[in-house]
Structure 1
Amino acid sequence: MSGEGRPAIQFLLSDMDGTLLLPDHSLSQRTIAAVRALREAGVFFSLATGRPPRAMLQQIEALGVDLPTAAFNGGTIVNPDGSFLVRHHVPEEVVVSTLALLSPQPEVEVWVFADGEWLLRNPRGPMVPREQHGLGYPPVVVESFEDYLPRIDKIVAASADTELLVELEARLLEQVGGQAQVSRSQPVYLDVTALQANKGQALMTLAEFLGVPLERTAALGDGGNDPAMFQQAGLSIAMGQAEAAVKRQADLVTGSNVADGAAEAIERFILPR
């Protein structure tokens, strides 16, 4: 759709990792300034991420976000006061079958998020330092996930073997499709969340909460879990470093996250209107 024919955007929902954040998980001053300018212009702004709520607090404060935010790919929507607007757990039978598939894989680290904690059985996995740096807090080591089965928000398969994760994604989609969401939030992370946990549903929920028509919403992201919100938004923008399959599903493409692509998108495609 041409810029001339598009209605003015009133609400932008943005991914975090690979979008707003630099590879070291920091925010550039240009991105902070662009979000501030959005808010000063009267455009609502919020976050949708695969992260748990606890791992969003620093960015929420830095960006001045004062709206509900979507964690676990939309499975949990948290009000600014910490209460829950929406919360969906992964069905227990899906948890059991997913863990049965993932646990025997020697190249895959299996993580579980439940009760506000990041749970794992092997604290020495090579992907753990990266995740701990990104989340900003350490994992809790458990002998078994059994005690948490009814209350799991997300299961993650983490591996540097991205081809293996693509294969496991296809197998999980066949195994639990229709019962849960399965998507690679990043090339090295495969997420399993509740069926209702998708960023498209989060966008619709937040737009309704704010009283904004969907045609006046915009979505910004880079990962395999972001096209769900692209499909619902009036304007969708993919990051420059996103995989080709993600870019094809967006209306526009901006620069990469290392080139302040999120700020560029706000400045070029939203603020001028």
Structure 2
Amino acid sequence: MKDATKHPIRFLLSDMDGTLLLPDHSLSQRTIDAVRALREAGVLLSLATGRPPKAMLQVIEALGVDVPTAAFNGGTLVNPDGSLLVAHFLPASAALSTLSLFVDLPDIEIWVFSGGDWLLKDPHGPMVPREQHGLGYPPVVVDSFEPYLERIDKIVAASNNTQLLIELEAQLLAQVEGQAQVSRSQPVYLDVTAMQANKGEALATLAEHLGVPLEQTAAIGDGGNDPAMFAVAGFSIAMGQAEEAVRRQADVVTGANTEDGAAQAIERYILPR
């Protein structure tokens, strides 16, 4: 645990789903007001998410985010004008290993994100409506992922069988060690991205870009991909509904997203500084 009171916070990097957003992917008025107060206090806010860049635009606009943001768990950093600051693709060998492991598994839907598109083979999978609602745009149906192997941003195994995803995470980590990041961004999503595509690297890059020392940064999140930024930030906050393994890696724990936990954290821990 780092010192929670030593430094004022000048930059907050926040997860989106399960953190700023309610379960229906909307923003509460309290969260909007808290972010406005943060900006008025001169604290910079950015977003780090497993989502593609274009699935962030509505939230960026609603919150008035005017600094670069991190998509695909930090694999793609995007400037406010939409241009790329950084892009890291999954190595083709790691992509092949991942797809080979996931193929034909029961209860698993395989999604590939490439060039801004959400690619899948089966548009009728039970998890598809949830993802389409969250992203705000439909998938592209393909016969094969092979043409996209050189420019894959992220591969996702989606399933309501959370225990299977835990087992797959451990198995895949051993197979792609040193080649790719493997983490459950939510209990029902197992994300596979480039090694450099993690929220810790994203926070460090964004802080340097913005001229903010790491000890004056904070991070807040709820998923298995968020402790990477907890480890880098000067101060870290876990959401109340996060798994215990995530909560114990943060400096403090706030309320759940259904309780406006992100707004609580801003009001209690960030603004008073």
TM-score by length of 1: 0.99
Unmatched 5+ stretches in structure 2: none
**Which residue identity lines up with residue 42 of structure 1 in the other structure?**
G
Instruction: For 2:87 and 2:6, locate their aligned partners in 1 and report how far apart those are by CA, in whole Å.
Output: 33
> Which SS does the other structure have where 1:156 is aligned?
strand
What SS does the aligned partner of 1:110 have?
strand
What residue in structure 2 maps to residue 61 of structure 1? 61
Runs ≥4 residues deviating over 2 A: none
Tell me the amino acid that sits aligned with residue 184 of structure 1: R
Alignment match, 1:271: 271
In structure 2, distance between residues paired with 1:99 and 1:231: 30
Q: Give 1:153's aligned amino acid.
A: D
Instruction: Show the counterpart of 2:137.
Output: 137
**Alpha-carbon shift at residue 150 of structure 1 (Å):** 0.3
Letter matched to residue 110 of structure 1: I
Residue 241 of structure 1: aligned partner: 241
**Residues matched between the structures, number:** 272
Match of 1:127 in 2: 127
Q: Tell me which residue corresponds to 1:25.
A: 25
Aligned to 2:190: 190
Q: Distance in 1 between matches of 2:6 and 2:65?
A: 25
Q: How much has 1:2 moved relative to structure 2?
A: 5.5
The answer on whether the counterparts of 2:14 and 2:221 sit within 8 Å (CA) in structure 1 is yes
SS in 1 for 2:185: strand
| Residue matched to 2:213 | 213
Number of the residue aligned with 1:84: 84
- Any unmatched runs of 5+ in structure 1? none
**Structure 2 counterpart of 1:125, which letter?**
G
Q: Partner of 2:250 in structure 1?
A: 250
Partners in 1 of 2:103 and 2:62 — Cα distance?
37
Deviation, 1:118, is 0.2
1:259 alignment counterpart: 259
1:44 maps to: 44
Contact 2:3 2:235 (C-alpha < 8 Å) held by counterparts: no
CA RMSD of aligned residues (A): 0.7
Shift of 1:115: 1.2
Q: CA deviation at 1:104?
A: 1.8
SS of the counterpart of 2:110? Answer: strand
Aligned-partner Cα distance in 1 for 2:177–2:216: 31
State whether residues 20 and 262 of structure 2, in contact with CA within 8 Å, keep that contact through their aligned partners in structure 1.
yes
Residues 189-219 of structure 1: CA deviation (Å, up to 9, x unaligned): 0000000000000000000001100000000
**Corresponding position of 2:173:** 173
Q: 1:75 to 1:2 in 2, by over 3 A?
A: closer
Aligned residues with identical type, % of pairs:
76
Counterpart check, 1:10 vs 2:10? yes
In structure 1, C-alpha distance between the alignment counterparts of 2:22 and 2:190, rounded to whole Å: 20
2-structure distance, mates of 1:106, 1:253: 36
Partner Cα separation in structure 1 for residue 229 and residue 206 of structure 2: 11
Residue 177 of structure 1 and its aligned partner are, at CA, apart by 1.3
State TM-score, norm by structure 2.
Answer: 0.99
SS at match of 1:182: strand
C-alpha distance in structure 2 between counterparts of 1:225 and 1:256, whole Å: 17
Amino acid at match of 1:262: A
Is the Cα contact below 8 Å between 2:39 and 2:45 reproduced in 1? yes
SS in 2 for 1:246: helix
Where 1:86 maps in the other structure, the secondary structure is strand
Whether the 8 Å contact between 2:107 and 2:159 is mirrored in structure 1 is: yes
Distance, in Å, in 1 between the alignment partners of 2:103 and 2:39 is 44
Q: Provide, for residues 101-137 of structure 1, a one-character-per-residue CA deviation record: whole Å limited to 9, x for no partner.
A: 0012121000000011000000000000000000000
Task: Tell me if the contact between 2:55 and 2:135 (Cα under 8 Å) persists in the aligned partners.
Answer: yes
Match of 2:220, SS?
Answer: strand
